[in-house]
Structure 1
């Protein structure tokens, strides 16, 4: 399996990518991470990029993530909003877990928002759902289904009391 070769093949597994818990807010369109490849106070930023950026990219496919290396004396993260504003987050001398937890608290969606999005997605995902609170009220509203007996009576040979009990008109 060629995808399991190289440095830390664990990062290439689907289970690892789905384990991320940082869902960026919908207003964030671009996220840049500025750090150097050498230096002690950049080590947390390097580890954050190595371990957590693939998860963030997987969970937020609509957000552009840019890594800017060796362009700054201190590491920082800049998030650009769709309104044109931006937010600077200082990550100087912080460890990778501290950076990740700070991003979850500051630019991540809250648990309530994630739960409401999950419920909304669950209801609308399956077109086979019908009944109260769904798009279709009755199964007869789907194409290629038998029309509703409340609207158009079924033929007598399809009904059990005529077929099995031999009830005559």
Structure 2
């Protein structure tokens, strides 16, 4: 085993980078939001949505520790045509749906924040526009590429936009789809679970789901 002096600094650097990413401005606070439910392809498609889950969702989790987040990744073949979608449930029971199809992660983040973001987010947007700066790092370039992609002729000539996963499964009831959900529960509920199983669980040094910025 190498001396601690050779391994410990690397861990500090990685932790520092992680914290810098989680705390990078703007802070993605979602006041009044009860839960987020995302459905997307497990791999090979829906790349903007996948990058959102990888890059932006940990920042949202970090800024909103009591927010329920469910990520449903479903294996998808090229022949299956459905779009990635995010359901945003507000504390008053209202549910808004965001289409994530053919969008970059920055565009998805901006749409979510414009819908439910805090006054600080609105101030950030106003400040960036006045200064001629992108609202999120890389967003200006992503918007240009996104418009180019959306302007390209579609290989699938089916009229109308693609169905959501729920709509696709409803129209194809015999389709056997293996779902691989990832659920992030509220920390309060996790605390209750820990108290209920305190007498039966043993102490472990492995980080639990609640300590991870984003469960994979």
* Contact 2:42-2:75 within 8 A present in 1 as well: no
Q: Helix, strand or coil for the counterpart of 2:86?
A: strand
* CA distance in structure 1 between the aligned counterparts of 2:99 and 2:55, rounded to whole angstroms: 19
TM value normalised by structure 1: 0.55
TM superposition outliers: structure 1 runs of 4+ over 3 Å: 9-12, 112-115
2:85 matched to 1:79?
no
Q: Helix, strand or coil for the counterpart of 2:66?
A: coil
**Which entry has the higher C-alpha Rg, 1 or 2?**
1
Residue in 2 aligned with 1:110? 119
* CA distance in structure 1 between the aligned counterparts of 2:104 and 2:40, rounded to whole angstroms: 13
- CA RMSD of superposed structures (Å): 3.0
Residue in 1 aligned with 2:18? 13
- The 1:112–1:74 alpha-carbon spacing in structure 2 relative to 1, beyond 3 Å, is closer
Question: Structure 1 stretches of 5 or more lacking a match?
Answer: 116-169
Question: Structure 2 stretches of 5 or more lacking a match?
Answer: 1-6, 77-81, 125-216
- The 1:10–1:53 alpha-carbon spacing in structure 2 relative to 1, beyond 3 Å, is farther
Q: Paired residues, what number?
A: 110
2:98 matched to 1:96?
no
- The 1:112–1:89 alpha-carbon spacing in structure 2 relative to 1, beyond 3 Å, is closer
- The 1:98–1:60 alpha-carbon spacing in structure 2 relative to 1, beyond 3 Å, is same
- The 1:62–1:44 alpha-carbon spacing in structure 2 relative to 1, beyond 3 Å, is same
Aligned counterparts, 1:1-169, within 5 A? 13-21=18-26, 22-25=28-31, 27-40=32-45, 42-70=46-74, 73-111=82-120
